[in-house]
Chains A and B, each alone.
Chain A
Amino acid sequence: MTETIENIQTRRGEDAGPLLSVRDLKVTFQRSGEQPFVAVDGVSFDVRPGQTVGLVGESGCGKSVTSLAIMGLLPERGVKIEGEVLYNGQDLLKLSRNQMRDRRGADLGMIFQDPLSSLNPVVPIGIQVTEVLERHRGLSRKAATPIAREMLEKVGIPDPNRRLTDYPHQLSGGMRQRALIAIALAAQPRVLIADEPTTALDVTIQAQILALLKELVEDTGTALIMITHDLGVVAGLVDRVNVLYAGKIVERGNRHELFAEPRHPYTWGLLNSIPRLDGTRGQKLTPIPGSVSDNLPWASACAFAPRCSQPIEVCREQQPELVEEGTRALRCFNPIDDEVRSGRTPDAQAPTSTQPRDAAYPTDDPKGDPTMEESR
């Protein structure tokens, strides 16, 4: 019973070693005449082949900057990037601009939040798919077209033949996101970064897109970095979750650990603020009070202290370090304990809002729904 599919998968991944390894990534924006701003502050995480890793945090915590840094898409001027992004052991940050361009699309793919504005409005969908195949696989337009059609079919776009010549505005929001996924996966990258891929979509379509992503990465063994501000989105999808706050990872763990037993007050707050679609009897959302503008500087405190539900004295005096412990990591002086956790019923504690989303997933994974997790 303890040998869940997830555990097996994780172990299999461990054998392979990390495919992408982000080490102490630090991104500083320096505009002349302005204070330098550290958007990403020493972030490290690993992604193994076939693994799905979540990067979760509120808007502005540095998720997109992290993904753009990995992709080498940050502007060259006014930005300082430190640390390493190791792909198969090679540091991508050391590559030249041209070398990195050859890697993008071929080794690393990315899909963005807004499917409409991420597609070129004046170029038919088909050309936008074949463009990638021509670029990275050296195919002619003619040879690439059947593959493009196949890709569209694979991502569940009906009537792909007709869609090849359609323009983005002729597709619905969900179809556009599917098209974007087809484009991103056309050259078969081994790492796919999805930056809020469902935020601009309606809830039922969110579920479809997430199910599609899950299916595609499972079929092809692509590693997926799933970026979202909504823990509910990653609930049924990811293997590991990294919770980001103000540019730093504050908690990390396998999905079921983190959902069943959140330790960082911020993670706890995020879980409590997930809306419930089933309208659980009188349950109210408890959003985290305050906003990121209240943050303290990490250098001399816990940035989250002004908004934390249980700060202690040392939180405002010293920076908490990220402490690794087995499969988990935590950056907190006064973690949430069992007593606080049991203040809520086990039923209420789990993010039930994810049920409608999870319903779209294949149900072969017994841990697929965190609500199934017994509370410990």
Chain B
Amino acid sequence: MPNPLNPNSKKDRIDSLAATAGDRHRSGDHAQPGGGVAVATVDDAGHVEESTGVSLLASAWRRLRRNPVFLLGLAITTIFVIVAIFAPWLAPHDPAKGLLITEVRQQTNPIPAARPGFPLGADNAGRDIFSRLIVGSRQTLVVGVMATLFGFLGGLTLGTLAGALGGWVDSLVMRIVDVMLSIPSLLLAFSIAAIAARPSQWTVIIAIAVVQVPVFARLLRGSMLAQRASDHVLAARALGVKRSAIVFRHMLPNAMGPVIVQATLVVATSIIDAAALSFLGLGNPDDRQPEWGQMLGAAQRFIYDYPALAIWPALCIIVVALGFTLMGESLREALDPKSRR
């Protein structure tokens, strides 16, 4: 396992992922050095052969379908997304209402225990933990998806510019990207979130998105460069196709494979980073809107006597992040020609 804090291992990982977008089957001339002997590869007239091109996706999917790791990841993320969408209807109680506040005794019993209707008990404000966990999934989903989306859009712009234009644009963009990549991501996100005057859900999203921009930028630039050297882009250039069409029709769509993989993985890190920022008090200060990281932070005070208060949100964060990671990693493996047998 490479050290995730080492910026070079981070870059290597991005670059090897980007390489999967390249030409997977460059075939040289089939001539033999000793003479003009033609070696024909067998290719029948009527049938469609597979193993290359889009069928690469098909064969990837065939392997994924039988991969228990991927299926587990898929199951977790699907359940998570469904719960997040239908949270208000699934939650038995209003997460903001202190329904058990009468049970709370500041000195003797700050945390009401579990009871019928309140399977996980309540917090120190008497609010139902189970409902708060369910509704909290919404924030987590929003932060994870929005941060990934903004990071992706930023990286898409920078990476496409760098990969399509090359030259000094490329040098400039990549210098900035490399500097950003060399800073540990959580530290960077923390610094950005700390700058914001009034912390909110949006400062968290923006901080995490900014951290993801260089990752996506480097990744897209790498896969754009691989595309630029590909046969079909050369063929399109040989047809006089305009540069914008080369970039948007011939390069970008073919460079998206690794980006989708990365996006899946980034959702996981965004969720963890968002939880970390909330835990450290840089998230939404309004705790009527439940959020797992913030619940975890609030549980600190009671960690010795009531560890369950911390365990539940922590478990949610871990399981959901794990779900996205399992899915992303098995996608990456399936799309990477090097890991194929």
User: Chain A: which residue is nearest B237 at the CB level?
Assistant: A73
Q: What bracket does the count of chain A residues touching chain B fall in?
A: 35 or more
Q: Is the CB of A287 within 8 A of B232?
A: no
Inter-chain contacts of A221 with B (CB < 8 A): none
Bound together, the chains give a CA A206 to CA B250 distance in angstroms of: 28
* Residues A248-303 near B (CB distance < 8 A): 269-270, 272-275, 285-292
Q: Is the CB of B29 within 8 A of A199?
A: yes
Q: Is the CB of A200 within 8 A of B30?
A: yes
Q: Is the CB of A287 within 8 A of B34?
A: yes
Q: Cβ of B27 < 8 Å from any Cβ of A?
A: yes
* Residues B22-64 near A (CB distance < 8 A): 23, 25-38, 40-50, 52-55
Q: Is the CB of B241 within 8 A of A105?
A: yes
Q: Is the CB of A135 within 8 A of B242?
A: yes
Inter-chain contacts of A291 with B (CB < 8 A): 33-34
Q: Is the CB of A105 within 8 A of B239?
A: yes
Q: Is the CB of B44 within 8 A of A172?
A: yes
Bound together, the chains give a CA A117 to CA B234 distance in angstroms of: 10
CB A159 to nearest CB in B, in angstroms, measures: 13
Q: Cβ of A160 < 8 Å from any Cβ of B?
A: no
CB A352 to nearest CB in B, in angstroms, measures: 15
* Residues A138-172 near B (CB distance < 8 A): 167-172
Q: Cβ of A49 < 8 Å from any Cβ of B?
A: no
Q: Is the CB of A205 within 8 A of B237?
A: no
Inter-chain contacts of A123 with B (CB < 8 A): 249-250, 253
Inter-chain contacts of B235 with A (CB < 8 A): 110, 112, 118-119, 180
Known A109-B239, A123-B249, A172-B45: A73·B254 in contact at CB below 8 Å: no
Which of A39-47, A230-238, A317-325 is near enough to bind chain B? A230-238
User: Chain B: which residue is nearest A169 at the CB level?
Assistant: B53
CB B269 to nearest CB in A, in angstroms, measures: 28
What 0/1 pattern do residues 220 to 234 of B give for CB contact below 8 A with A? 000000000011101
Q: Cβ of B240 < 8 Å from any Cβ of A?
A: yes
Q: Name B's interface SS.
A: loop
Q: Cβ of B75 < 8 Å from any Cβ of A?
A: no
Q: Is the CB of B231 within 8 A of A199?
A: no
Q: Is the CB of B32 within 8 A of A287?
A: yes
Q: Is the CB of A200 within 8 A of B237?
A: no
- CB < 8 Å: which of A103, A208, A272, A292 contacts B240? A103
Inter-chain contacts of A78 with B (CB < 8 A): none
CB A74 to nearest CB in B, in angstroms, measures: 11
For B, the interface residue count at a CB cutoff of 8 angstroms equals 47
- CB < 8 Å: which of A104, A106, A183, A230 contacts B237? A104
Bound together, the chains give a CA A232 to CA B38 distance in angstroms of: 9
Known A59-B28, A113-B29: A131·B43 in contact at CB below 8 Å: no
CB B37 to nearest CB in A, in angstroms, measures: 6
Inter-chain contacts of A131 with B (CB < 8 A): 239, 241, 245, 249
Known A56-B36, A232-B38: A114·B43 in contact at CB below 8 Å: no
- CB < 8 Å: which of B23, B45, B242 contacts A205? B45
Q: Is the CB of B40 within 8 A of A184?
A: no
Q: Cβ of B236 < 8 Å from any Cβ of A?
A: yes
Inter-chain contacts of A225 with B (CB < 8 A): none
Bound together, the chains give a CA A121 to CA B240 distance in angstroms of: 19
Bound together, the chains give a CA A167 to CA B47 distance in angstroms of: 14
Inter-chain contacts of A58 with B (CB < 8 A): 31, 33, 35-36
Q: Cβ of B1 < 8 Å from any Cβ of A?
A: no
CB B301 to nearest CB in A, in angstroms, measures: 54
Listed residue (A106, A121, A286) with the most chain B CB atoms within 10 angstroms of its CB: A121
Q: Is the CB of A120 within 8 A of B27?
A: no
Bound together, the chains give a CA A273 to CA B234 distance in angstroms of: 32
Bound together, the chains give a CA A187 to CA B231 distance in angstroms of: 20
- CB < 8 Å: which of B28, B32, B50, B54 contacts A121? B54
Q: Cβ of B238 < 8 Å from any Cβ of A?
A: yes
Known A121-B232, A291-B33: A201·B240 in contact at CB below 8 Å: no
Q: Is the CB of B25 within 8 A of A117?
A: yes
Inter-chain contacts of A269 with B (CB < 8 A): 35
Q: Is the CB of A104 within 8 A of B35?
A: no
Q: Is the CB of A202 within 8 A of B33?
A: no
Inter-chain contacts of B49 with A (CB < 8 A): 172-173
- CB < 8 Å: which of A56, A59, A285, A289 contacts B29? A59
Known A103-B240, A173-B43: A118·B232 in contact at CB below 8 Å: yes
Q: Cβ of A23 < 8 Å from any Cβ of B?
A: no
Bound together, the chains give a CA A272 to CA B37 distance in angstroms of: 10
Q: Cβ of A240 < 8 Å from any Cβ of B?
A: no
Inter-chain contacts of B250 with A (CB < 8 A): 120, 123
Listed residue (B52, B55, B232, B249) with the most chain A CB atoms within 10 angstroms of its CB: B232
What 0/1 pattern do residues 247 to 258 of B give for CB contact below 8 A with A? 001100110000
User: Chain A: which residue is nearest B28 at the CB level?
Assistant: A59
Bound together, the chains give a CA A269 to CA B250 distance in angstroms of: 42
Q: Is the CB of B26 within 8 A of A117?
A: yes
Bound together, the chains give a CA A335 to CA B31 distance in angstroms of: 25
Q: Is the CB of A273 within 8 A of B29?
A: no
Bound together, the chains give a CA A197 to CA B328 distance in angstroms of: 39
Known A233-B38, A275-B37: A171·B32 in contact at CB below 8 Å: no
Inter-chain contacts of A330 with B (CB < 8 A): none
Listed residue (B40, B52, B54, B253) with the most chain A CB atoms within 10 angstroms of its CB: B40
CB A50 to nearest CB in B, in angstroms, measures: 22
CB A68 to nearest CB in B, in angstroms, measures: 8
What 0/1 pattern do residues 91 to 106 of A give for CB contact below 8 A with B? 0000000000111111
Q: Is the CB of B40 within 8 A of A122?
A: no
Q: Is the CB of A202 within 8 A of B40?
A: yes
Pick 14 A–B contacts, CB within 8 A, sort by A.
A58-B36, A113-B27, A117-B23, A118-B234, A120-B236, A120-B250, A120-B254, A169-B54, A202-B43, A205-B43, A270-B36, A273-B37, A287-B32, A287-B34
Q: Which residues of A contact B (CB under 8 A)?
A: 56, 58-60, 71, 73, 101-106, 109-110, 112-114, 116-123, 131-132, 135-136, 167-175, 180, 183-184, 187, 196, 199-206, 208, 229-233, 269-270, 272-275, 285-292
